Each structure stands twice: as C-alpha cells, then as structure tokens.
Structure 1
C-alpha cells in the first residue's frame, strides 16, 4: 500500500478547513490533490480526531500482520 504524503494531522486540518467554509476545489488546488482523494479522506476520517485516526491505523497494522 502506498504511503500518503500527508500526515494524519494534515488530513484533519484539510477536513476542518472545508468545514470552515473553504471550497473543496480550492483546497484540492492548494494541496495538489484530486477531489476524489478529498472525498475519500472525508469518508474514511470524517468525524474523527487525530488520536482516533492513529488508533485505527494501529489496529489495521495488527490485522495485516495476523492475516499475512
């Protein structure tokens, strides 16, 4: 799986900026991402804080080691 060039806190900040009124196309231009990437972030991380994201990634890593 490809590692994101954005940290968890950067993703959270991007989501908060859109909630604060910045348009999705403007944010995507600033960050150099596609709108699909933004909406994927929102679907996956919307409503979470940074610590919740870190815990989710930790659990996903444990699952990968058990499966593979």
Structure 2
C-alpha cells in the first residue's frame, strides 16, 4: 500500500496537512488531519507530519483483520 499526503496553506500563512492510507487492494482510509491548531510554519514540516501519521495508519491497517478493514477510518 501507500500513503497519500496533501497540504494546504491557510489564510494565516500557516500550513495544514491531511493523509490517508491506501491498501494494496485499493481500499482507502478516510483523510485524517495531521495538523495542530497552530498549523505548521512550512510546507515541509506539514508534509513530514503527514508522512509520520500515514506510517502509523499503515501500521494499524496491517494488523487489522479483513472484516475490520471495511469499517476502518
């Protein structure tokens, strides 16, 4: 599988990030915010946070049974 990461610049010039895990079979988790309330000072920091959270999602997904993966979010 892989992790999708998307970043967006806010009006206050800070960055936010979301990520999701896509399984090898193509099933996707929901987009999950990786941003703190303050946001990130750079796109690179936001992207790094998204990668770290995405890795956590992938690790969680790997231990779920096939039945649980259909309701995973």
TM-score range for the pair, normalised by the shorter chain length: 0.3 to 0.5
Structure showing the higher strand proportion among its residues: 2
Q: Which structure shows the higher helix fraction?
A: 1
Q: TM-score, normalised by structure 2?
A: 0.32
